[in-house]
Structure 1
Amino acid sequence: MSAVIRHLAFLLIGLCVLMVFPAFMALADGEHSAAAAFFTPALLTAGLAGGILVALRDLTPPLSRVGSLFLVILTWPCLALVAALPLAGISALTYPSSLFESLSALTTTGMSLIADLDAQPSALLFWRALLQWYGGALTLVMMVLLLAPMAVGGLPHRRISLVGRSRARFGGRIFQQVRIILTAYGSMTLACIVWLIASGVNPADAVFLALSTLSTGGMTPRDGPLEDYIPIAGQFGLILFMIVGATSILWQGMILRRDTYQLRRHRESYAVIAAAIAVGLVLAELYHLAAGRGLANFPAALLEGLFAGASLISTTGFHVREESFSVLPLAVLFLCALVGGGAMSTAGGLKMFRIGVLLRQAERELSKSLFPHGVKTTRAGGHVWIDNDVRGIYAMVLASVLVLAFTATGLALAGLPFAPATAAALAAFSNIGPLYGAGPVAADPWPALSSLPAHGLWFLGFAMVAGRIEVLALFGILNIAYWRNR
């Protein structure tokens, strides 16, 4: 357990470093009390984490498999407990509500209890955006270095290195992969900021939106739809970078290394792009029909459709207009959100590769019913999937259904009607919080999340973390047989 505590201390120090940026922003705005709300917890937490690192510097064994699962699970609530302190200090939110807000940002879910964004300090908005970005970075690192090597939920665990051939030792290769992930993630974030500013977006809004886009977090810096303050060129940029956030960072590494062999074998990221385009074209036609079938209306409908398609598949949840998602039935919205983007990305959902493997496995079972003595493998995404991996995917889907049912039941007991409870549970689990309330307009508006009692928010928080950690990591730690044999 000391290895887990040591790694958590490192992550807390990283969080404290990030607190410095909104603190200086608050000072620049003349909000000295807001700056103190960041500096104080940053200094105290950094001192505590630093003391832990000093105390454990000679006592820490390597991180075990069980320790890795504990680290993946504990990271999000531990970071949220500290990240909520500045939010509670500079907003009208209570600490429990601030905890929910910070957990939503860190897990890149994007659910928010803040009603009037335009009246909030810029430091608060910057902090939410930074939390999303930090959560996205942690998601990529944990996926590549912890979850995929353990094949959690059938995650691809072969050929997951980002460094290609290297003579470096194991520890050196780990450091290389972390450096490559953070460099690529940071570079794409910077590119998004430059694109948005060049397209005419306010620099502060550009920074906040870029941090939210690459992390697929979905929190916006202003109230109202994006069309109010993002020009057409900026919307094109957001489409591009939402797709970047939804595709595998391994695939992006293949492109940078010009690894044509692996690029030909890779399938999932191409499927993510195709799904975003397909959903976007369907939405564009629906928007075109709603606006009248004149040719003058089609370019705007096409842009909005592609934007909404990329937003849904990437589980970002941005919308150009308030009604962008209302043209689709709830079942279709739920399906898109549940499938989600690619593995090794910041997107939520079950992930596209799992759907592909399940479809191929279904085809295999049908073939066996016709040719019971035939030999047929499950081939998907350019790879042959062994039975253990397929069983892992089945377990992941079953665990996801159980978490969704548990969360929806808890929300119903907290006072939400069936449809809103189901939508909120799925939005939290798939880490696409803005989807809640974005479906077809009902006769009775859905209750605001801020009206939920505290235990209702806890159910949502549980679903957010479960979705972010590929859920089976949680069930693995809860394995009774392991604890009985310790």
Structure 2
Amino acid sequence: MIHFKAIAKVMGGLLMLLGLLMLPGIGFSFYYKSGDQMPLIYSAFVSIAMGGLLFFSFSKQDQNIRKREGYLIVALSWIFMSLFGMLPYLVSGTLTSLSDAIFETVSGLTTTGASVLNDIEALPKGILFWRSMTQWIGGLGIIVLTVAIFPLLGIGGIELFVAESPGPTSDKLHPRIRETAKRLWYVYVGLTLLCAGLFYVGGMDFFDAINHALTTLATGGFSTKNASMAFFDVPFIQYVAIIFMFLAGTNFTVIYFGLLGKFDKVWKSDEFKAYVLVVGLIIVGLSVPVFLTSGLGVEKAFRDTAFQVVSLLTTTGYVTADYTSYGHGLTILFFLLLFVGGCAGSTAGGIKFIRHLTFFKNTILEFKRIVHPRAVVPLKINNERVSGKIITHIMIFLLIYLMVFVVGSVVMSVVGYDMLTSFGAVATCLGNVGPAIGRVGPLDNFSFFDPFTKIFLSAIMLLGRLELFTVLVLFSPYFWRAN
């Protein structure tokens, strides 16, 4: 039997936390006199009040969260956070359409970065900060944060961590799950502050620096400027963004070990080594044709290429150049980056490097197995044997990912959108990237879509952010059968 009362208590705690995280934007509202403090206060009050009602109504319930409750909590939390997170947009009148508010909020919390706003710079400062905060909340996963906090409230958290982090690796910084979550957040917060400081030193004002730091470390890509990062055409700022996007796309356990000086554990990671190698090769490989076709100088061509490669590959979605203007061949190559993703255990979305690496290695070994059918040829990652169960899980994930992309593109085409726009919109929402091709290219937004399509793409974003299985398992009859 599923403990729905235990789920209700956890959901209440999440909503209270969400409401509290709305409060910092009020300070910016007062400081800049942008007049949006009351919508934020009202939204925070409603979220905290509703969360408190749920939390304290079921405070005496058994909070033993099992795997099924964990999956339900994770899926429902993103839905409820989206519904309450859109309140500042609706109450302030920034967005008047329900579908627009849902899309913008889901895009923020899933760190997709796709937007329906045509004039971002016209937004009040408090709302603009909340928009960035939604991505920072979703970056490492609010569930991971609650794993560190909820034990103080008498709520267990290991199944939440498992459901929120469904990748194929299981590296832990500390044997206690609560300590693991706390240390991940220490790294996350520390890198965010460092990134903000460097942006400020590079010439951004404080407000722009903190907002872009929030969305850079979250690999979200929401900017305070209509031109995105192209507005800050300063080499220092853009190189800082490249470095921190790259770090945000790295497994945070690897970063943690690197900060401790345990470089043997850093280079033990096959995924990290593949990540560094592939990113470097793609940047070098694409810089030459970009230089030849764009008419830019050597440094500018390299910087634009490096920025767009890292931005797309880590699913950040910042823009400094229109990569669709480089010709059809390069456009296709940049489009393919939407299907890569960062490392497992990072804030990036997408398929993830570890899955690509496992698939590639297993494919190579399969040829050896064909030639030597009696030989036992195990697949190893990080010098450890990968079980057949994990290999099967990854293969099924890749197949389902492809199926969702195809079915989603067909639905978009049936609704009435052209093929490139359909492919681009579904690919970028499923991978939580932001820009794509067609009418959703790097210089466009998603405001032209009809309400049904915006809700449909919001569902695709949630499905991609929770890596398919966490959501799809809820539609399985096996999930609802009694133990």
**Structure 1 length as normaliser, TM-score?**
0.90
Note the 1:12-161 alignment, pairs <5 A.
12-32=15-35, 34-90=36-92, 91-138=94-141, 141=144, 146=159, 149=162, 155-157=168-170, 160-161=171-172
Note the 1:239-250 alignment, pairs <5 A.
239-250=242-253
In the other structure, the counterpart of 2:453 is 456
Alignment partners' CA distance in 1, 2:441 and 2:188: 35
Contact kept? 1:429, 1:467, Cα under 8 Å? yes
Deviation digits for residues 52-102 of structure 1 (CA, Å, limit 9, x no counterpart)? 222222213311101111122112111010110111122143232111100
Deviation digits for residues 218-276 of structure 1 (CA, Å, limit 9, x no counterpart)? 11111125233241111110011001110001111221333344323212122222222
Note the 1:24-423 alignment, pairs <5 A.
24-32=27-35, 34-90=36-92, 91-138=94-141, 141=144, 146=159, 149=162, 155-157=168-170, 160-163=171-174, 173-292=176-295, 297-323=297-323, 326-327=326-327, 328-423=329-424
Alignment partners' CA distance in 1, 2:165 and 2:436: 27
- Residue 320 of structure 1 aligns with an amino acid whose one-letter code is T
1:451, distance to aligned residue in structure 2 (A): 2.0
Alignment partners' CA distance in 1, 2:143 and 2:293: 39
Deviation digits for residues 402-439 of structure 1 (CA, Å, limit 9, x no counterpart)? 22123222222322111110110000000001235488
Alignment partners' CA distance in 1, 2:348 and 2:325: 18
Contact kept? 1:325, 1:439, Cα under 8 Å? no
- Residue 233 of structure 1 aligns with an amino acid whose one-letter code is F
Percent identity among equivalent residues?
23
Contact kept? 1:72, 1:142, Cα under 8 Å? no
Contact kept? 1:341, 1:347, Cα under 8 Å? yes
Greater shift after overlay, 414-423 or 462-471?
414-423
In the other structure, the counterpart of 2:466 is 469
Contact kept? 2:102, 2:455, Cα under 8 Å? no
Alignment partners' CA distance in 1, 2:410 and 2:265: 44
CA 1:331–1:289: 2 relative to 1, 3 Å = closer
Alignment partners' CA distance in 2, 1:381 and 1:475: 30
Contact kept? 2:6, 2:62, Cα under 8 Å? yes
Contact kept? 1:85, 1:95, Cα under 8 Å? no
1:152, distance to aligned residue in structure 2 (A): 7.7
**Pairwise CA RMSD:** 2.5
Alignment partners' CA distance in 1, 2:352 and 2:325: 21
Contact kept? 1:139, 1:346, Cα under 8 Å? no
1:139, distance to aligned residue in structure 2 (A): 6.3
- Residue 238 of structure 2 aligns with an amino acid whose one-letter code is Q
**Structure 2 length as normaliser, TM-score?**
0.90
1:203, distance to aligned residue in structure 2 (A): 1.8
Alignment partners' CA distance in 2, 1:154 and 1:89: 37
Contact kept? 1:154, 1:390, Cα under 8 Å? no
CA 1:120–1:440: 2 relative to 1, 3 Å = closer
CA 1:104–1:230: 2 relative to 1, 3 Å = same
Alignment partners' CA distance in 2, 1:74 and 1:45: 15
Q: Helix, strand or coil for the counterpart of 2:447? A: helix
Unaligned runs of 5+ in 1: 167-172
Q: Helix, strand or coil for the counterpart of 1:186? A: helix
Alignment partners' CA distance in 2, 1:274 and 1:377: 24
Alignment partners' CA distance in 2, 1:388 and 1:143: 29
Alignment partners' CA distance in 2, 1:199 and 1:287: 26
Deviation digits for residues 365-387 of structure 1 (CA, Å, limit 9, x no counterpart)? 21111111111101234332110
- Residue 194 of structure 1 aligns with an amino acid whose one-letter code is G
CA 1:453–1:359: 2 relative to 1, 3 Å = same
Greater shift after overlay, 303-312 or 459-468?
303-312
Alignment partners' CA distance in 2, 1:45 and 1:143: 16
Unaligned runs of 5+ in 2: 148-157
Alignment partners' CA distance in 2, 1:8 and 1:140: 11
- Residue 161 of structure 1 aligns with an amino acid whose one-letter code is K
- Residue 319 of structure 2 aligns with an amino acid whose one-letter code is H
Alignment partners' CA distance in 2, 1:278 and 1:353: 18
- Residue 412 of structure 1 aligns with an amino acid whose one-letter code is S
Alignment partners' CA distance in 1, 2:325 and 2:284: 13
Q: Helix, strand or coil for the counterpart of 2:61? A: coil
- Residue 204 of structure 2 aligns with an amino acid whose one-letter code is V
1:334, distance to aligned residue in structure 2 (A): 3.1
Contact kept? 2:430, 2:465, Cα under 8 Å? yes
CA 1:254–1:324: 2 relative to 1, 3 Å = farther
Contact kept? 2:341, 2:350, Cα under 8 Å? yes
In the other structure, the counterpart of 2:476 is 479
